[in-house]
Amino acid sequence: MKFCTTLIAVRDMERSLRFYRNLFGQEVTQDLGWNKTLTCGLTLQEHFDELAGFPAETMKYQPNTMELYFETETFDEFLTLLLILGSCNLYLYCVSLVYHLQEFGLGCCGTAH
C-alpha cells in the first residue's frame, strides 16, 4: 500500500482554489468537477457528504484541524503576501498566524490557518 494524497473537504471550491492559488501558487493539475488536485498533490473535495453518503449536518468544517507545510526560498516575501492577501476584507478569506514565527535549524517556519 502507498500513500496517494491528502484530501480536504471544502464548502466552496472557488474560494478554496483562490486561497491556494493566491497564497501558495498552486494550480489545478487534475479537475474532476467536485474534486480537484493541486500541483503540490493536495486534493480539494466539494460535496464530500454526498460522496461519502452521510448527512451534510454531520460535516465539521474547521480551519485549524490539520496542518499543511509548504517551503519557500523567500519567506519574508511570502509573509508579506500572507499579511496582504490574508486580510479578511480583501479576498474573502481570513488568515491568521497560529504560532509566532520561530527559527529552527532547517530555516524559518510558521503555521497559518
Q: What is the pLDDT of residues 94-108, one digit of tens each?
A: 776 666 666 555 555
Domains of the chain: 1-58 (3.10.180.10), 69-113 (no CATH)
Using only C-alpha atoms, the chain has a radius of gyration, in whole angstroms, of 15
pLDDT at 111 over 60: no
Query: What's the rounded mean pLDDT across residues 23-46?
Result: 94
Q: What is the pLDDT of residue 57?
A: 84
Task: Report which residue type is found at 37.
Answer: T
What pLDDT is attached to residue 66? 66
Percent of the chain at pLDDT exceeding 90: 28
User: 35: part of which helix (H) or strand (E)?
Assistant: strand 35-38
What does the longest C-alpha to C-alpha distance in the chain come to? 45
First to last CA, the chain: 30
Q: What is the pLDDT of residue 113?
A: 46
Nearest-angstrom CA–CA distance, 109 and 75: 8
Q: At what angle do helices 75-85 and 13-24 cross, to 10 degrees?
A: 150
Q: Which pLDDT belongs to residue 80?
A: 83
Q: Between these two residues, 94 and 64, which has the higher pLDDT value? A: 94
Q: Helix or strand or coil: residue 16?
A: helix
